[in-house]
Structure 1
Amino acid sequence: MTLPHGWRGSEKPKSPMPNFLRRLKTTPKRKLALWAALGYSALVLGGALLGAEIVLRSKTRWVKGDFVPVGRRGNKLYLPASPETLSKGPLGIVPLLPNRGHLVVGPHRMVGTVVERPILQERGALPQGALAWVSTYLYNGTPAQLGAEYEDVLVPTEVGEMPAWHMPPRHAEKDALIVVVHGHGGQRAQALRMLPAMLRTGCGSLFVTFRNAYGAPKVGKGYLTLGDTEAEDVVAALAWAREQGYKRIILFGFSMGGNIVLSVLRPKFEPYPLPIVGVMLDSPALEWRDTIRWQAQRFGLPGFLARRVGRFTQRIVTQRSGQDFDVVDQIAAAPHFKVPILMWHGTRDHTIPLAQAEALYAARPDLVEFHRVEDAKHIRTWNISPKEYDGQLERFVARVLGRESCE
């Protein structure tokens, strides 16, 4: 065999250096440092601008879920595998128009490459092969999906009328009302999973929204204040409840809604239109600076960079909206709380750090009943064990109302 000219048998031919690496090697170090600084600054600024926009103005008309084709055989449904269809606990299935069915399906098991789930509840019809909305939130419409009686109402506030669903108590006179507040970018339908348990307590329920959320009045540039001014809309709901003949209030907040209902407890709103006897929190956002930093790390940024992006995001938010993050720091406000609190938070929550709920419990173990829910994602604590969650809710309501039973 003839060897290439100039190559010895014990040597390997050198591959030509790529042009980019050659140029990089010959570029002055000062210029490289400048490029690196510019790239770092662009990454921090870009991340902060995007983060600020999400914090200030995030809303959608759609309840989260997947759209998938659904097969059916008897009392079983068959779904393609996805993170949503493989989630623990029950799912809601809603075929797209013109069909108007609704199903609740139970725990999953794999059958070959598809997901099998038993049908637990069914309203209307689900045609074979229908394209359907599938979600861990179970419901994407109104209380009518559960067969519950309700009325659409408008809660008057200083900035306009807030849409709400009112479910009066089933078998009792108006006494206590549970005011339910959804989260950041959320919808009232997210809490419909808990409605049967709320109805069993004998209380009325009011699912209300707040300024700058989907379907609610826009104020100014439409910026959210993360619980601060939104609390005024919930206080207005208390005044509405008083006019309807209710005597006591329990607040129930999800995610940012948890911060909103805790913001209602500030001394500035006292005396309240009606007494607040208890608060329930599901996956609450208790400290926004920590949450923003957590979100930056969630998207893959290393810790030191996430902290920098988080700080810049906070500055941009404050410059645009005047946001005071101290005002919505509910962990710092914990010493001033006076009413019992029931709280759930999941160990797999990638939206709000579990450590925030743990900190609130550590600060007020005398007031807070805390349930750490293993394997639960954000606002999916109910899905892990619906009966257990419902029981905790019903017992808490009975306790704060001084009842031996819920009805």
Structure 2
Amino acid sequence: MTGLIGVAVLAVAALAASVLSGVMARRIVTPSTKRADDVRVESVDIAAGTITLQPTPDSVLQGDYSFWFSGDRGHAHLGEVLRSTPDAVTRRILRVDYGDLAAARRGRLGGYSFLGPWDLAVDYEDLLVPTRGGDAPAWLIPAAMPGGRWVIQVHGRGVRRQETLRAVPVFRDAGFTSLLISYRNDGEAPESADGRYGLGDTEWQDAEAAMAFAASRGATEIVLMGWSMGGAIVLQAATRSRLRELVVGIVLDSPVIDWADVVAYQGESLGLPGMVSSGAMQVLGRRWGGRITGQGAPIDFGRLDFVSRAGELDLPVLLMHSDDDGYVPATGSRALAVRRPDIVTFLPFTVARHTKLWNYDRESWNQAITNWLAALPAR
């Protein structure tokens, strides 16, 4: 009888793990429609130009950040930390773009810093990039002296192209025209037929479309820059695109180098057993998994693993990642840097969180890109 009970318990546990794997897999590839306000506002002093927030890993970071509040009905820019205790952190208010900050009770911090090219006080063009799924909105920001050198900026999962605006000034100073793109299922570009993320395995085709557009407008040398999942996208574009000979280098900020690391980390953060995370990978990578996740095709995780595929890279890479990322672990980035020191320039951070490296240490981040661009071999 005891043996039968044990078998039953194991069967129930296996069933529960299978169900959780399916739920996790579907969550990974389903675009989110809204982000939660995850930090409490303790007080706002408009006259003094300060705001006091609940301490969180993001709210205690030095630097300049976006602050959405009241369910995205308001947006402000917050600056340096003025005071910090275990119970509260007070920051400087740099400006309020819209909304009633004094009435805010909750909000969320982000690294955007700029809401559009207009915040940079530069000329820009709103345009549409033709892709297989339809026209995808993009911003084109020409260099002060436009030429054939372009950078294509690819944002991460669950955010939009505003994320990449932080890189425009440093590339523009180096003589690069910037193309900031949207891609399938990001809330701006047309949806794919299945409405699901491909984690880079499909979105790279939209980056390739942007490369073709850039070439049609005179680009002769292209740097691809990817943020978070955008890193996975540009690595695919750089190795799979028919236009890859135009690419002269890759810049990666907090990138996904190997999805197995990311899924395992996220599962652990949620307190899930390892078998749930590995099971989610199985669901996403098998054709039958589409019945659970809604995917039109399975994801080839081997093709997305650039730790294993490190030997296939043949372009200069600037790689920047923080050990306290909180979303995408830096293990894949560190492993790639170790495997390919001949082409990878690695700038590690210890305290900067996910895709907030520029916000935390703008000078080091900009200087790293400036130096790396200056060292690119002449075409």
Q: Same fold (TM over 0.5)?
A: yes
CA distance in 1 between partners of 2:228 and 2:215 (Å): 26
Q: Tell me the SS of whatever aligns to 1:370.
A: strand
CA distance in 2 between partners of 1:294 and 1:94 (Å): 27
User: What letter is aligned with 1:243?
Assistant: S
Residue 294 of structure 2 corresponds to none
CA distance in 2 between partners of 1:300 and 1:101 (Å): 33
CA distance in 2 between partners of 1:222 and 1:124 (Å): 32
CA change 1:282–1:364 in 2 (3 A) is same
User: Cα offset for 1:173?
Assistant: 2.1
Given that 1:249 and 1:276 are in contact with CA atoms closer than 8 Å, whether structure 2 keeps it comes out as: yes
- The answer to whether 1:375 aligns with 2:347 is no
Residue 269 of structure 1 corresponds to 241
Residue 296 of structure 1 corresponds to 267
CA change 1:172–1:64 in 2 (3 A) is farther
User: Cα offset for 1:94?
Assistant: 5.5
Residue 278 of structure 2 corresponds to 311
User: What letter is aligned with 2:277?
Assistant: G
Normalised by the length of structure 2, the TM-score is: 0.86
CA change 1:282–1:38 in 2 (3 A) is same
Equivalent position to 1:284, from 255, 261, 265: 255
User: What letter is aligned with 2:375?
Assistant: R
**Which digits, 9 at most, give the CA deviation of each residue in 1:28-87, with x for residues without a partner?**
423531442233123311220121112222333659875747623555312232314323
CA change 1:374–1:49 in 2 (3 A) is same
Given that 1:90 and 1:136 are in contact with CA atoms closer than 8 Å, whether structure 2 keeps it comes out as: no
Equivalent residue runs for 1:58-69 within 5 Å = 58-60=31-33, 66=39, 68=41
User: What letter is aligned with 1:309?
Assistant: V
Equivalent position to 1:397, from 356, 373, 376: 373
CA distance in 2 between partners of 1:295 and 1:128 (Å): 32
CA change 1:356–1:70 in 2 (3 A) is same
Given that 1:176 and 1:204 are in contact with CA atoms closer than 8 Å, whether structure 2 keeps it comes out as: yes
Q: Tell me the SS of whatever aligns to 2:152.
A: strand
CA distance in 1 between partners of 2:335 and 2:119 (Å): 37
CA distance in 1 between partners of 2:325 and 2:300 (Å): 25
Given that 2:347 and 2:368 are in contact with CA atoms closer than 8 Å, whether structure 1 keeps it comes out as: no
Unpaired runs of at least 5, structure 2: 291-296
- The answer to whether 1:329 aligns with 2:305 is yes
Residue 293 of structure 2 corresponds to none
User: Cα offset for 1:270?
Assistant: 3.6
CA distance in 1 between partners of 2:233 and 2:338 (Å): 21
CA distance in 2 between partners of 1:150 and 1:105 (Å): 26
User: Cα offset for 1:166?
Assistant: 1.5
CA distance in 2 between partners of 1:285 and 1:258 (Å): 6
Q: Tell me the SS of whatever aligns to 2:111.
A: coil
Which deviates further from its counterpart, 86-95 or 171-180?
A: 86-95
CA change 1:168–1:374 in 2 (3 A) is same
Equivalent position to 1:248, from 217, 221, 229: 221
CA distance in 1 between partners of 2:238 and 2:22 (Å): 32
Which deviates further from its counterpart, 126-135 or 355-364?
A: 126-135
Given that 1:234 and 1:261 are in contact with CA atoms closer than 8 Å, whether structure 2 keeps it comes out as: yes
Equivalent position to 2:61, from 87, 95, 107: 87
- The answer to whether 1:52 aligns with 2:25 is yes
Normalised by the length of structure 1, the TM-score is: 0.81
Equivalent residue runs for 1:341-360 within 5 Å = 341-360=317-336
The aligned length equals: 368
CA distance in 2 between partners of 1:246 and 1:64 (Å): 41
